Amino acid sequence: IRNVRANATRVPRFGLFELTLELPDRYVNPFQTNEVRLIAEVIGPDGRTNSVPGFYAQEYVRSLHSTLETITPQGTPGWRVRFSPRALGSYRYTLRVRDPHGEATWGPAEFTAVPSASHGFVRVSKADSRFFEFEDGTFFHPLGHNIRSPSDARYQMHFPLAPRMPEGSAIY
């Protein structure tokens, strides 16, 4: 386990704490957990341990050119661990990776969760299960698009002569 980098040492409560790191480049399929498995053991201020799985990731840039969408890899792929602290205070974490060659550990290290304006994660309301609320009990009203598919056949019924070009994921 090499070159472990944290995005911050002070993270807002409910914010993103992210680690990036390097592992040996010896895995045919880094997405297969029986070939390689990365776990972060995160101990919160209350003493509880969270086992957070790591993952292999590649950044991409999407661009549209007329009716063609291209997705281009950016940078080098690598390993990441993401965690969102739910309580204020000090967190300690250790990394563990297991593969057919054995097991390696890294750490411990620390970060601190500091106050934030976030209301927390969304959940079903404790008062009325027909509604949603944030962790602090604040009402959550979901607003957004209701998209059933990228190609809506109703468009062809109403505008049969209008050509539709494939737009990739940008159609959303």
Give the model confidence (pLDDT) of 133-150 as tens digits.
999 999 998 877 666 666
Among 42-46, 65-69, 142-146, 164-168, the least confident range: 164-168
Local confidence band at 169 (pLDDT 50, 70, 90 cut-offs)? low
- Cα dist from 120 to 45, 86, 138, 156, whole Å: 17, 8, 9, 42
Question: Using CB atoms within 10 A of its CB, is residue 11 exposed (0-12), middle (13-18) or buried (19+)?
Answer: buried
Average pLDDT over residues 2-17: 96
Question: Alpha helix (H) ranges present in 46-165?
Answer: 153-158
Cα gap 151→87, rounded to integer Å: 43
Local confidence band at 171 (pLDDT 50, 70, 90 cut-offs)? low
- Say what the pTM is: 0.78
